[in-house]
Structure 1
Amino acid sequence: MNKTDLIDGMAENAGISKAAAKKALESLLIDIEGALQKGNRVSLVGFGSWSVSKRAAREGRNPQTGETIKIKAKNVVKFKAGSDLSDAIN
C-alpha cells in the first residue's frame, strides 16, 4: 500500500473527499514528524507508538574492500506495534 492507496481508503471509509483525506493524512504525518523531531514519543493506543532512539557512532567495514570505516552517530525512529494491531495480523 502506498500513500495514494491510503488516501483512497481513508476517503472511502470516512465518507469524505480524496482532497480532505489527503489534507488529513498530511497533517497527521507533519504532526508525528514534529513531535519526533522534538524527541517526544507518539502513541496511538492499540495501533502502536513511534519513538526516537540514539544510535552511537561505531566502526564498520566496507564489504568490497574490507577497509574499516567510521559510521557517525544518528537518531533513528522506532515503531512498536500495539496489541490490537498485533492481534489483527496474527
Structure 2
Amino acid sequence: MSKKEFVEAYAKATKETKKRSEELVNAFLETVQEILEKGESVQFVGWGAFEIRERAAKDGRNPATGEKIHIPAKKVVKFKVGKKLADGVAKATKK
C-alpha cells in the first residue's frame, strides 16, 4: 500500500477529508522521525515499537569485484512487532 492509498483509507476510516488526513499522517510520521533522531524509542503497546540500534562494523566483499571492503558501524531503525499485531496478522493470513 502506498502512502497515498494509506491516506485515502485513513480518511475513509476517520471520515476526515483527504487533505486533513494527509496532514495528520504527515504530522505523525514527522513526530516519530523526530523522536527517533533524538535516540529515543516510540512504543505502541500491543502494536509494536520503533527503536534505534547500533549495527556493528564488519568486513564484507564488493559483489561486483570481489574486493574486500570495510562496512562501518551505524545506527539503524528497528521495528519490533507487538503481540496483538502479530497475532492479528497471523490470524488474518492463516488460510
> What range is the shorter-chain TM-score in?
over 0.9
The Cα offsets for residues 52-83 of structure 1, whole Å up to 9 and x where unpaired, read as: 00112211011232211011211110001111
Alpha-carbon distance between aligned partners in 1 of 2:62 and 2:73, rounded to the nearest angstrom: 17
Q: Which runs of 4+ in 1 moved over 6 A?
A: none
Q: Over aligned residues, Cα RMSD in angstroms?
A: 0.8
Q: Which runs of 5+ in 2 are unaligned?
A: 91-95
1:51 and 2:51 equivalent?
yes
Equivalences, count: 90
TM-score, with normalisation over the residues of structure 2? Answer: 0.90
Within 5 Å, give how 1:69-84 maps onto structure 2: 69-84=69-84
Gaps of 5+ in 1: none
**Alignment partner of 1:33 is 2:9:** no
When normalised by structure 1's length, the TM-score is: 0.95
Which stretch of structure 1 is more off in the superposition, 61-70 or 50-59?
Answer: 61-70
Alignment of 1:18-29 (within 5 A): 18-29=18-29
